[in-house]
Amino acid sequence: MLLFALGFLLVILQPSTGQFPRVCANVQSLLSKECCPPWDGDGSPCGELSNRGSCQNILLSQAPLGPQFPFSGVDDREDWPSVFYNRTCRCEGNFMGFSCGECKFGFSGLNCTERQLKTRRNIFQLTTSEKNKFLAYLNLAKGTPSQDYVIATGTYAQMNNGSNPMFRDINVYDLFVWMHYYASRDTLLGGSNVWRDIDFAHEAPGFLPWHRVFLLMWERQIQRITGDENFTIPYWDWRDAEDCEVCNDEYMGGRHPTNPNILSPASIFSSWQVICTRSEEYNSQQALCNATSEGPIRRNPGNNDKSRTPRLPSSAEVEFCLSLTQYESEPMDKMANYSFRNTLEVRDPELDTGFEVWSHQCGVQGTITALLLLATPRLIQARIPLAFLDT
Ligand SMILES: *[C@@H]1O[C@H](CO)[C@@H](O)[C@H](O)[C@H]1NC(C)=O
Ligand SMILES: *[C@@H]1O[C@H](CO)[C@@H](O)[C@H](O)[C@H]1NC(C)=O
Ligand SMILES: *[C@@H]1O[C@H](CO)[C@@H](O)[C@H](O)[C@H]1NC(C)=O
Ligand SMILES: *[C@@H]1O[C@H](CO)[C@@H](O)[C@H](O)[C@H]1NC(C)=O
Ligand SMILES: *[C@@H]1O[C@H](CO)[C@@H](O)[C@H](O)[C@H]1NC(C)=O
Ligand SMILES: *[C@@H]1O[C@H](CO)[C@@H](O)[C@H](O)[C@H]1NC(C)=O
């Protein structure tokens, strides 16, 4: 399904995750448009001397864009990453990463030849110490600066086409919040104009593969900073749930005793600050989110518009979604009817709301967190949390 989905994706938009390797966030890389860093193991670009990969011109799809985005040459995310870099490492075999220094997901070992099986588990089946370890890992990620990646705090034009780099450090957790924001943000058109009907991660066939890679990258980063190579994100199976079962202090944080919109001081998440929540402010300033703290996590499970989304999906609704045999249907966006992707994500053709939107609207939104893993039976079987919320 992954390849199938990617094939379609290209018809609409190139995928864009928006990560910037620190080693390429400088004038020299931006002006030459080359991001082919040396691999630590042998010092050669892309580990070429060890046959890990080589520096290549990036190849762009020639497929036409969908009608949803009637522009060309106005958004840095078009033909990602070609506005910033047109030569990058192409890795061989099981190697992966900006310098071919990593293994493809599912592989490990010095030569990336060892198959590695990791299991995603139901959060309610973790022991107390496993669960506490998970929460501690999240907190560690929130407090650990990313060594490998930085975020862009300006557009390519604002960077003077590369001669004035605008990048900033970010912690490992917020890196993913920012990437999710960057892929989803509106197009800045200059003056006070923006184009809102654009999203490089949602409402199109790329929704599933994008989020799948996103979570795999996120797990990989947590594995790196904790040294726990077996770390996986647990999932919450919310089928038939009456309320947000993880919204308590044992798990993702309960309500504050006097302010239902914020978290209980007994939760470690009550001291977290969110970023990238003020899209209208960034739009009016024609600026990018620069990851400045924007206040505590706001969450009020159950405080949703019950006439629109009365509850979380039932098992039967999940079964209906899984019975759809077409991955995607025209027009391959949020209006697609009987598309598996769109039913899962945005809009059940019978119920008028899909699972992702559903879970946002059922009031479990407004927190990160990881666990709002949209698990469906088949995805549970495959241990694939589909997505997590991020601010
Ligand atoms: C890549 O960008 C550089 C710098 O703008 C340019 O000189 C070069 O021709 C480009 N290469 C390709 C293959 O487009
Ligand atoms: C990795 O590959 C290199 C070069 O092919 C080889 O010399 C080395 O023994 C391999 N190491 C392992 C652990 O497989
Ligand atoms: C940046 O590049 C664009 C497109 O090539 C060009 O129109 C613009 O003048 C350049 N701006 C600067 C400041 O060099
Ligand atoms: C990861 O799991 C494998 C297989 O169960 C085990 O051999 C290894 O010791 C584990 N690694 C850590 C760091 O726990
Ligand atoms: C970061 O962005 C905020 C909101 O757009 C803005 O008020 C602030 O000045 C920016 N900070 C820096 C250091 O650019
Ligand atoms: C999907 O179905 C709805 C309800 O039947 C209909 O209003 C809408 O036009 C359909 N959308 C497409 C793109 O066919």
Q: Tell me: the pLDDT tens digits for 2-26? A: 222 222 333 334 445 568 999 999 9
| Domain around 83 | 20-388
Query: What mean pLDDT do residues 319-343 have?
Result: 87
| pTM listed for this prediction | 0.89
Most confident residue range from 170-174, 214-218, 303-307, 315-319: 170-174
The tens digit of pLDDT for each residue in 175-216 reads: 998 998 999 999 999 998 999 999 998 889 988 888 888 888
pLDDT in the model for residue 83: 97
Tell me, using a 6 A CB cutoff, whether residue 56 lines ligand 1: no
Report CA dihedral (379, 211, 58, 149) to the nearest 10 degrees. Answer: -130
Query: Ligand 3 test: best mutation among 159, 161, 163, most atoms within 8 Å of CB?
Result: 161
Q: How many domains does the chain have?
A: 1
Higher pLDDT among residues 267 and 379, named by residue: 267
- CATH value at residue 111: 1.10.1280.10
pLDDT band with cut points at 50, 70 and 90 for residue 41:
very high
pLDDT in the model for residue 339: 87
Phi-psi region of 286 (alpha: psi -120 to 50; beta: other; left: phi over 0): left
Q: For residue 11, is it within any domain?
A: no
On the question of pLDDT at 53 being above 80, the answer is yes
pLDDT band with cut points at 50, 70 and 90 for residue 90:
very high
Q: For residue 12, is it within any domain?
A: no
pLDDT in the model for residue 13: 40
On the question of pLDDT at 63 being above 80, the answer is yes
The tens digit of pLDDT for each residue in 139-148 reads: 999 999 999 9
Q: For residue 14, is it within any domain?
A: no
Q: For residue 63, is it within any domain?
A: yes
Query: Ligand 4 test: best mutation among 121, 137, 219, 230, most atoms within 8 Å of CB?
Result: 230
| Reduced 3-state DSSP string for the chain | CHHHHHHHHHHHCCCCCCCEEHHHCCHHHHHHCEECCECCCCCCECCHHHCCEEEEECCCCCCCCCCCCCCCCCCCCCCCCCCCCCEEEEECCCEECCCCCEECCCEECCCCCEECCCCCCEHHHCCHHHHHHHHHHHHHHHHCECCCEEEECCCCCCCHHHCCCCEECCEHHHHHHHHHHHHHCCEEEECCEEECCCCCCCCCCCHHHHHHHHHHHHHHHHHHHHCCCCCCCCECCCCCCCCCCCCCCCCCCCECCCCCCEECCCCHHHHCECCCCCHHHHHHHCCCCCCCCCCECECCCCCCCCCCCCCCCCHHHHHHHHHCCCCCCCCCCCCCCCCHHHHHHCCCCCCCCCHHHHHHHHHHCCCCCCCCCCCCHHHHHCCCCCCCCCC
pLDDT in the model for residue 352: 59
Identify whether the C-beta of residue 327 lies closer than 8 Å to the C-beta of residue 341.
yes
CA of 32: how far to CAs of 24, 38, 45, 151, 190, in Å? 10, 16, 15, 19, 26
Q: For residue 4, is it within any domain?
A: no
Q: For residue 96, is it within any domain?
A: yes
Q: For residue 6, is it within any domain?
A: no
Ligand 5 pocket at CB < 6 A: 281-282, 285, 287, 290, 292
On the question of pLDDT at 264 being above 80, the answer is yes
pLDDT in the model for residue 366: 37
Query: Ligand 6 test: best mutation among 203, 334, 337, most atoms within 8 Å of CB?
Result: 337
On the question of pLDDT at 388 being above 60, the answer is no
Ligand 3, atom 2: closest residue by C-alpha? 161
Identify whether the C-beta of residue 298 lies closer than 8 Å to the C-beta of residue 246.
no
Query: What mean pLDDT do residues 78-85 have?
Result: 95
